[in-house]
């Protein structure tokens, strides 16, 4: 089911090149459809959004904006064990992200110059949450909590309604717990366009975050610049580094935990133990028999899964950095020793008991992570994702006099004489 590759300096890199084509370019037909939706919503506002909802979902939801009492009722009527689990996760996520808060600064110098940086949260953020049968309340927690910690003043959530036109109760519970301000029952590219441009009822936001299908992802990509976005996410992926100490049962389970997301998901094992591949394959076959998304897992593993046999720990780490995976698990002896060497990964899970779902739901670090090798230069979603920074400058006359000749020289060298003049006029040197 899973291809096996011996790392010889050629085969493994041929596989990596193949993986770069996994998600491919955005389908041109999808781009054309999404562009039309965006233009229509920009002109038609809420009526256009509702028309697309009726077209794609078959009917309009029970209400466009979910009343606050419905959100509150969802929390009070929810299963208490579920609420407790979400509250425990919320506490962990909040504790982790509170440590990310940066500080502004003021640098008052002896010559009277004052320089500084001001940091504050964005005014309004839009949160897209998949709804219906594919509902992820964990996405609400991972996006809304750092936004609140950053000081975002208002969070507007859009989520598709269930087939009966009602909101998904689990999502409303998470929204209530996290303090989401307003919730609209709208999904797809039309909801993204409404957030980006604003309508009569849906407020215009400064940034849009949250996962979605190819139409949602394409809309976010096309509207980047009109608003900020979190990232352009590709299919989910996991890379497991393992040696002879790894338990094949755990490795197989963790590979499949990501393979079940999507047929395009990638689950890769890099091992220094040549006996481990057969054991992992046997465990995959055994565990598949009782998993609900068996067909998706099988297609994912056969299409985009692989077991790479590395000659040693050093080569295994080199491959991990080359792949730059979204999730990186380390099932190796003394895994903490590798923290300083694993430079390219969205989130690193160290040891046999740091299974990837721990990060998805509970531990605290964010589960919105860079994919498709972009962990080489992108970072996970966090408090900084919801902040804006501006600098400020104060100079006295004497301080500017000391600097003016350097400024004028640089401006003249660049041919920007008006820049130079703006300095010189202050000292009677214009012309």
Copy the structure tokens of residue 403.
């600097």
Which backbone phi and psi does 264 adopt, to 5 degrees?
A: -90, -5
Please say if 123 is a catalytic residue: no
Which one of 326, 331, 356, 367 is the catalytic residue?
326
Handedness of CA 307, 312, 318, 324 (dihedral sign): positive
Assess whether 326 carries a catalytic annotation.
yes
CB of 206 within 8 A of CB of 150?
Answer: no
* Cβ atoms 219, 189 nearer than 8 A: yes
d(CA 370, CA 352): 23
Helices (H), 179-307: 188-197, 214-223, 248-259, 276-288, 294-304
**DSSP three-state, residue 168:** coil
| Residue partners of 55: CB distance under 8 A and separation at least 6 | none
- Tokens at residue 104, please? 């502004």
Give the Å distances, CA to CA, from 401 to 108, 215, 405, 408, 420. 18, 56, 8, 11, 13
Residue 139 CA to its chain's centroid (Å): 10
327-343 CB burial, b ≥16 within 10 A, e <16: bbbbbbeebeebeeebe
Helix axes 214-223, 28-57, angle to 10 degrees: 120
Distance separating alpha carbons of residues 242 and 309, to the nearest angstrom: 10
Among residues 12, 260, 298, 327, which one is catalytic?
Answer: 327
- Give the residue numbers marked as catalytic: 326-327
């Amino acid at each position: 089911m899973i291809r096996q590759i011996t790392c010889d300096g050629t085969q493994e890199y041929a596989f990596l090149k193949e993986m770069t084509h996994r998600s491919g370019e955005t389908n041109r037909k999808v781009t054309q459809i999404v562009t039309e939706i965006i233009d229509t919503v920009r002109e038609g506002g809420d009526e256009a959004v509702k028309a697309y909802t009726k077209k794609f979902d078959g009917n309009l939801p029970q209400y466009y904006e979910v009343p606050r009492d419905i959100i509150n009722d969802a929390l009070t009527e929810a299963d208490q064990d579920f609420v407790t689990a979400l509250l425990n996760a919320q506490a962990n996520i909040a504790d982790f992200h509170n440590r990310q808060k940066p500080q502004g600064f003021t640098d008052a110098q002896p010559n009277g110059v004052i320089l500084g940086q001001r940091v504050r949260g964005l005014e309004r953020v839009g949160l897209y949450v998949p709804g219906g049968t594919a509902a992820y309340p964990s996405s609400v927690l991972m996006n809304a909590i750092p936004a609140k910690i950053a000081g975002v003043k208002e969070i507007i959530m859009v989520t598709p309604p269930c087939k009966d036109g009602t909101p998904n109760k689990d999502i409303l519970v998470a929204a209530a717990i996290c303090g989401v301000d307003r919730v609209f029952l709208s999904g797809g590219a039309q909801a993204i366009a409404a957030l980006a441009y604003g309508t009569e009822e849906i407020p215009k936001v400064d940034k849009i975050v949250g996962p979605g299908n190819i139409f949602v992802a394409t809309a976010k990509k096309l509207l980047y610049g009109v608003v900020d976005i979190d990232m352009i996410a590709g299919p989910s992926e996991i890379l497991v580094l393992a040696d002879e100490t790894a338990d094949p049962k755990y490795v197989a389970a963790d590979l499949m935990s990501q393979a079940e997301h999507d047929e395009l998901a990638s689950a890769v094992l890099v091992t220094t133990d040549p006996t481990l591949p057969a054991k992992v394959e046997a465990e995959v076959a055994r565990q598949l028999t009782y998993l609900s998304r068996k067909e998706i897992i099988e297609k994912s593993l056969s299409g985009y899964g692989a077991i790479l046999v590395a000659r040693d720990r050093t080569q295994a780490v080199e491959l991990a950095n080359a792949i730059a995976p979204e999730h990186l698990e380390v099932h190796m002896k003394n895994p903490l020793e590798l923290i300083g060497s694993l430079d390219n990964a969205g989130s690193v899970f160290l040891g046999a008991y740091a299974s990837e779902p721990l990060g998805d739901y509970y531990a605290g670090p964010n589960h919105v992570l860079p994919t498709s090798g972009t962990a080489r230069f992108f970072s996970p979603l966090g408090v900084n994702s919801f902040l804006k920074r501006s600098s400020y400058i104060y100079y006295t006359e004497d301080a500017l006099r000391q600097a003016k000749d350097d400024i004028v020289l640089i401006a003249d060298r660049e041919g920007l004489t008006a820049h130079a003049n703006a300095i010189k006029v202050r000292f009677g040197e214009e012309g």
